[in-house]
Structure 1
Amino acid sequence: MPTILVLGATRGLGASVANLYRSDPNNNVLATARSANPPPSTKNLNYIPGIDIASPEAGKKLLNFLHTRSISHIDVLIITAGYFATESLKEPSFEAQEKMYRTCAIGPTILVTTLANDSDSLLDSKSKVIFVSSESGSITLRHEKEGGGNYGHHASKTALNMSAKLLSLDLKERGVAIAVVHPGFMRTEMTRGVGFDKFWDDGGAVTPDVAAKSLVEWISTFDISKTGEYWAPRGPGDIGTAEAVLGSKDKLPTPLQLPW
């Protein structure tokens, strides 16, 4: 029975991914929640409470749960947890940037290193690690068409991309396949909360369930031959700068490998 671990799974993409994997009775799905009172567990979907990826203790707490449940191997690890606060040249925010880096880059990196150092079998040649990032983390795709601002959001995703690339090099000999993905522009409370709902229709935003389906299908094809790469499973359709930087969307493939 494959074990799938989803970090940040009580809402948005994480919840949709966890529920999609749960729909296959052959999967054992573990899903983390920051809250001490997560949704009720079901037959093959178990919630792990009190896991805040921005906390230094997140990895140790997660390992304690895995050990008490005698879970010695993770087949698929998907880290979806994120935080987005808007900024501009006139309104930067030290506090917001710090939280974005802790949540989007530092926490995921430390958590994966914690799991990798626990044993050679917890993450091994049968394991896939997927970091949910964003096309906003691509320096190449940044273009005057969309302008500047949102420093912490974009830069924390770029930092995550770099950490994932380095982890892929560290764990390649062990056979752990690591990827960074842009799952798509989504109609979530996170994007609504920063006012991006006004771009939903023109930007081709989809529901988390739709994005989850594309992501899970892509993960099923991903293996060590693509480790350390950066992908958009849904292609270029919702990437606003794709045509300006990469060329006609009609000629770009889906899935699309993204430039760093």
Structure 2
Amino acid sequence: MPNILIVGATRGLGASLTKLYAASGWTVYGTTRSYEKPDGFIEAVHWITSTDLMQSDVGSTLAARLKGSTTGPLDLVIISAGVFTTEDFAEGPKWDDEVRMYTTSSVAPVFVVHQLVKASLLGKGSKIVLISSEAGSIALRTDAEGNYAHHGSKAALNMVGKLLSYDLKEEEIIVSLVHPGFMRTEMTKGVGFDKYWDQFHAVTPDEAAKSLKAWAEELDISKSGQYWAPRGSADIGTAEEVLGKDLPTPLELPW
């Protein structure tokens, strides 16, 4: 039975992935910042509570707790946790918000992956999917204002994933950077982006989870270190402007 670790498993895309993989017969390990297991999930999920990506020891702590639970290397790791706080130039950026977004999106994943590899919890054929966003593409930014850390932290995550793919190439561990789609979540609603849901064809987290699972199943070493949109360009407002018309699905995104 294949096994998966989902970091950020209780909300949005992470929650949908957790339920989907558990229902598909996978052994699922899910992290939550809470001290208690969340309600409303399949009982078979193995919860790793008190996992906070803002803590410097998150990687070593997570690896140590997993080490005694798994029967072998993880087949798949999806790091889905994210934070989005809006910013604009007039009001100015907020230091604590920026630190939280960068740490969660692009600092903590390095420590998590590093410790999982060192603990032999990732090995030949293991796959790592880092949930990025088209917001991290510099080439696709033709007209944008503010939200510096949201865009910057995803761009930083893309670089992190690229570098990890080189470091893990000899061990044949695959690293994928993914824009899973513009989603109808509490996160996007909380920053006022629900006004764009219909215009940019936003999908539910369950829909995004299904396409992401299909992507992971086909993922191989030839795509390691690359940046893709499994659902294509429909929800990327500047895709045709930058990349042209009649774009394929899945779509490889520019850095």
Same fold (TM over 0.5): yes
Q: Distance in 2 between matches of 1:252 and 1:94?
A: 38
* 1:77 counterpart residue number: 77
Q: Distance in 2 between matches of 1:259 and 1:252?
A: 13
Worse overlay, 13-22 or 37-46: 37-46
Say if 2:67 and 2:119, in contact at 8 Å, map to a contact too: no
Offset at 1:133? 0.5
- Of 188, 194, 199, the residue aligned with 1:197 is 194
* 2:55 counterpart residue number: 55
Say if 1:236 and 1:254, in contact at 8 Å, map to a contact too: yes
Residue 37 (structure 2) pairs with residue 38 (structure 1):
yes
* 1:230 counterpart residue number: 227
Q: TM-score, normalized by length of structure 1? A: 0.94
Worse overlay, 73-82 or 107-116: 107-116
* 1:94 counterpart residue number: 95
How many residues were matched structurally? 253
| Per-residue deviation, residues 177-222 of structure 1 (Å, max 9, x unmatched) | 1000000000101001111011111111111000000100111000
- Of 233, 242, 249, the residue aligned with 1:254 is 249
Worse overlay, 36-45 or 225-234: 36-45
Matched to 2:102, the amino acid is Y
Report % sequence identity. Answer: 52
Matched to 2:111, the amino acid is I
* 2:218 counterpart residue number: 221
* 1:3 counterpart residue number: 3
Matched to 1:157, the amino acid is K
Q: What RMSD over aligned residues (CA atoms) do the two structures have, in Å? A: 1.2
* 2:106 counterpart residue number: 105
Q: Distance in 1 between matches of 2:12 and 2:138?
A: 26
Offset at 1:72? 3.2
Structure 2: 5+ residue stretches without partners? none
**Shift >6 Å, 4+ stretches:** none
Corresponding residue SS for 1:205: coil
Say if 2:101 and 2:153, in contact at 8 Å, map to a contact too: yes
Say if 1:66 and 1:72, in contact at 8 Å, map to a contact too: no
Worse overlay, 53-62 or 215-224: 53-62
Q: Distance in 2 between matches of 1:232 and 1:155?
A: 18
Offset at 1:89? 1.1
Q: 1:247 to 1:70 in 2, by over 3 A?
A: closer
Structure 1: 5+ residue stretches without partners? none
Offset at 1:241? 0.8
Matched to 1:16, the amino acid is S
